[in-house]
Amino acid sequence: MKKNIFISYSRYDTKFVDKLSNDLRQKGIDVWIDRENILPGEMWQKQIGIGLNMASALIFVISRHSIQSQWMLHEVTNFLSKNKKIFPILIDDVDASKLPIFLSNIQWVDFKKSYSKGFNLLLSGLGVSEKDTFIPIPSKIKKSKGYVFLSYVEEDSDFISSLKNFLKEHKYSYWDYEESDRDYHSQLFLELESVIIEASATLSVLSEDWKRSHWTIKEFFFSQEVHTPVFLLKAKNIRPTLAIAGMTYIDFIKNKNKGFEKLHRELIKKKL
């Protein structure tokens, strides 16, 4: 039976995951990785949910980056709730006290000491034997460069439509929380932090409404704090504000096409 494995990982561990996914495919195991399966212009969180539903098992790549991601832990706990198998694999030094409680009853595989030994143990857990005949699965081309986090208010949704078209054209997906989803008094607050940390960039859409919003300002400051590149996009006129005083923004008011051309150049400068 064909195995379809979802790999949950931090973007900071991409190099390891690329090797692991290619090695698994050589053993006839198909894997689901976000950047290979999410098309440019698609909503990242929605496609992640589809990938999880399709998967028969999940590999959780444990690293000092991934255990800090509340969104990833949310992915894994939801997967567990459906009584599907999870294979945690350890790839670097992680403080045992910081490991999620739900991992205490699951045998994890140590890749840190030896990749080859860890890989063989993982294959055994996946029910793959060296005696099996393997039909290698070709490597997949990455469809997306990852996702950008869209920080905006509902009043600027008209501009967001054009922005999403631009992202699709340039092979970016996006993470878009509707206004009603931003509840800073719930677990989502921690999940939102993880989403911003893992994002390729934050795109803050500036307007007077953006200035008045308490949550877009928080998203802006948090992005700066965790060193996620921030691009300020002036969609409407905005009076001077201390939050972005002295910072460079991209003006979309005078000429929207030129604004998108400049955004494209700035993304390239950041190697995004």
Name the pLDDT band for 170 (thresholds 50, 70, 90).
Answer: confident
Check residue 159 and give its pLDDT.
95
Q: Are 26 and 130 in contact (CB under 8 A)?
A: no
Domain contains 22: yes
Strands (E), the chain: 4-8, 30-32, 57-62, 85-90, 109-110, 147-151, 173-175, 201-206, 230-234, 250-251
Q: Are 144 and 238 in contact (CB under 8 A)?
A: no
Query: What is the CATH classification number for the domain harbouring 71?
Result: 3.40.50.10140
Say yes or no to pLDDT of 186 above 80: no
Name the pLDDT band for 33 (thresholds 50, 70, 90).
Answer: very high
Q: Using one digit for the tens of pLDDT, what is the confidence trace for 208-221?
A: 999 998 889 999 99
Domain contains 137: no
Q: Using one digit for the tens of pLDDT, what is the confidence trace for 73-126?
A: 888 888 888 889 999 999 998 877 777 787 777 888 999 999 999 999 999 999
Single residue among 91, 125, 159 that ends a domain in this structure: 125
Q: Which residue would you say has higher pLDDT here, 40 or 201?
A: 201
Q: Determine the average pLDDT of the residues in 124-143.
A: 72
Check residue 81 and give its pLDDT.
86
Q: Mean pLDDT score of the chain, rounded to an integer?
A: 87
Q: Of 3-12, 40-49, 80-89, 172-181, which range is least confident? A: 172-181
**Which residues does 98 contact at the CB level (< 8 Å), separation at least 6?**
67
Domain contains 121: yes
Closest CA to 235 of 208, 215, 268: 208
Same domain, yes or no: 155 and 195: yes
Check residue 165 and give its pLDDT.
92
Q: And the tokens for 10?
A: 């931090």
Give one DSSP letter per residue of 209-240, joined into a string.
HHHH-HHHHHHHHHHHHTT--EEEEE-S----
Same domain, yes or no: 234 and 185: yes
Domain contains 141: no
Task: Give the Cβ contact number of residue 167 at 10 Å.
Answer: 23
**How far apart are the C-alpha atoms of 214 and 212, rounded to whole Å?**
6
Domain contains 171: yes
Q: Using one digit for the tens of pLDDT, what is the confidence trace for 46-60?
A: 888 899 999 999 999
Say yes or no to pLDDT of 192 above 60: yes
